[in-house]
Amino acid sequence: MSWRCGIIGLPNAGKSTIFNALTGARAEVAIYPFSTISPNSGVVPVPDPRLAALGDLLKPQKLTPATIEFVDVAGLIAGASQGEGLGNQFLGHIREVDLLVHVVRCFASAQCPHPLGNLDPVRDVEVVDTELLLADLEILGRQRLKWEKRAKSGDKVAAAGLAVLTRVEAGLNEGKWARDLKLSPGDLEHLKATPLLSLKPYLLVANLSEAEFQGGPHYLALKELAASRQVPLVPILGDLEVELQDFPLEERQEFLAGLGLTEPGIQRLIKESYRLLGLVTFYTIVGPEVRAWDVPAGTTAPRAAGKVHSDMEKGFIRAEVMNFDDLAALGGAAKVREAGRLHVEGRDYLIQDGEIVLFRFQR
């Protein structure tokens, strides 16, 4: 399973530029709305210093990182929830992703006019967020009609689901996102068949000019909005980061250092997306390959084994587990065993971030 992050925002916000910086895919970047009709998609490696350290320590022939997928969805406009600007088609694409990456324009350009006439990142966020909430209210309204009929006939499950739906509708009408309503696991079970956009994890990307990055008013206003909503904000100099891909690594690092950056904004975006998806990383060492795998936090050992191969989950016997810090400190798997730091776990064990795991299974 590939975790999918949907890049959304107004037209001309720089979504395809951010996508290109992420993937190097060179998707079409144009100055007119809806240049992205069908979503572009690209799989990107997750930055992982531990995997690099394992490579230095173990010298495998192959290092394989964990990956996540980014999808460049066409721009939303006001009225998208009622079908404006091919809105229904684009909202359908957004419903298929696991995380919303909202790119917000924080740069001025005479060659790339703003679709709303002037630069105002806070307004732009509110326009897109309103369309997402309206789209959810529309789908909840259709679900309400179904559950009301069943509840009137005495269906207790439908009655309980209707109560949850009513609570979520009230929250959305107040401008709150469903994910912020402190819904219980039971509440979420009732909403399982209702693909709400406002339940998805969400972050903002400030697509900046160099002038705005140095403390421009538009970027500062967006930072205040993100802080007030407790939403992560990742600043990226989109055009610059696309250009930097053609630089040698050393020159790229020198250029970023001159801006006071230790790493590209794109890498921060990947890491923040990974965190918001609630993923942890474990590693396998098999023959010539050291590989990183991603699973949701709370995944049992057999399910993690199934990530590697379905036969491992079916025939799972046990997991032999060592911690990355122990392996790095002691210098090898044999020394970890000698030190008594390797532990053997059964079917109920929950995989932890940073563990190196050997799955024993019956073929």
| 14 and 70 inside one domain | yes
The pLDDT tens digits for 47-106 are: 999 999 999 999 999 999 999 999 888 666 555 445 444 445 567 778 889 999 999 999
* Confidence (pLDDT) at 78: 58
* Confidence (pLDDT) at 220: 96
From CA 3, how far away is CA 179, in angstroms rounded?
A: 19
DSSP 339: T
* Confidence (pLDDT) at 89: 57
| 84 and 186 inside one domain | no
* Confidence (pLDDT) at 34: 40
From CA 53, how far away is CA 29, in angstroms rounded?
A: 37
| 170 and 190 inside one domain | yes
In-domain check, residue 55: no
| 112 and 80 inside one domain | yes
In-domain check, residue 108: yes
Element at 214 (helix H, strand E): none
Enter the tokens of residue 294.
Answer: 């991603």
* Confidence (pLDDT) at 251: 82
Enter the tokens of residue 130.
Answer: 């309103």
* Confidence (pLDDT) at 261: 82
Residues in the chain, overall count: 363
Enter the tokens of residue 114.
Answer: 């703003």
In-domain check, residue 204: yes
| 224 and 181 inside one domain | no
**Single-letter amino acid, residue 133:** L
| 175 and 288 inside one domain | no
In-domain check, residue 162: yes
| 111 and 148 inside one domain | no
Tell me how many domains the chain contains: 3
Distances (CA, A) of 117 to 16, 38, 49, 76, 183: 20, 26, 43, 15, 39
- Longest Cα separation, the chain: 70
Residue of 209, 296, 310, 297 lying closest to 259 (CA atoms): 209
The pLDDT tens digits for 114-141 are: 989 899 999 999 999 998 999 899 899 9
* Confidence (pLDDT) at 86: 42
In-domain check, residue 86: yes
In-domain check, residue 105: yes
Q: Are 222 and 125 in contact (CB under 8 A)?
A: yes
What CATH number corresponds to the domain at position 11? 3.40.50.300
What CATH number corresponds to the domain at position 158? 1.10.150.300
Last residue of a domain, one of 222, 248, 275: 275
Last residue of a domain, one of 251, 275, 299: 275
What CATH number corresponds to the domain at position 354? 3.10.20.30
| 185 and 204 inside one domain | no
| 84 and 149 inside one domain | no
Enter the tokens of residue 299.
Answer: 């995944």
- Domain limits for position 179: 132-198
- Provide the 3-class DSSP secondary structure of residue 95: helix
| 178 and 296 inside one domain | no
Q: What percent of the chain has pLDDT over 70?
A: 91
| 253 and 293 inside one domain | no
The pLDDT tens digits for 31-41 are: 434 434 456 78
Enter the tokens of residue 15.
Answer: 């979504």
Last residue of a domain, one of 275, 293, 315: 275
Q: Where are the beta strands (DSSP E) in the chain?
A: 4-8, 40-45, 62-64, 67-72, 99-106, 202-208, 233-236, 279-286, 289-296, 316-323, 343-345, 355-361
In-domain check, residue 124: no
Q: Are 339 and 333 in contact (CB under 8 A)?
A: no
* Positions of the chain with pLDDT lower than 50, given as ranges: 25-37, 80-81, 83-87
| 181 and 254 inside one domain | no
* Confidence (pLDDT) at 162: 92
209-216: long-range contacts at Cβ-Cβ below 8 A with a sequence spacing of 24 or more?
A: 209/106, 209/107, 209/108, 209/237, 210/237, 210/240, 210/259, 212/106, 212/107, 213/237, 213/259, 216/106
* Confidence (pLDDT) at 75: 67
In-domain check, residue 152: yes
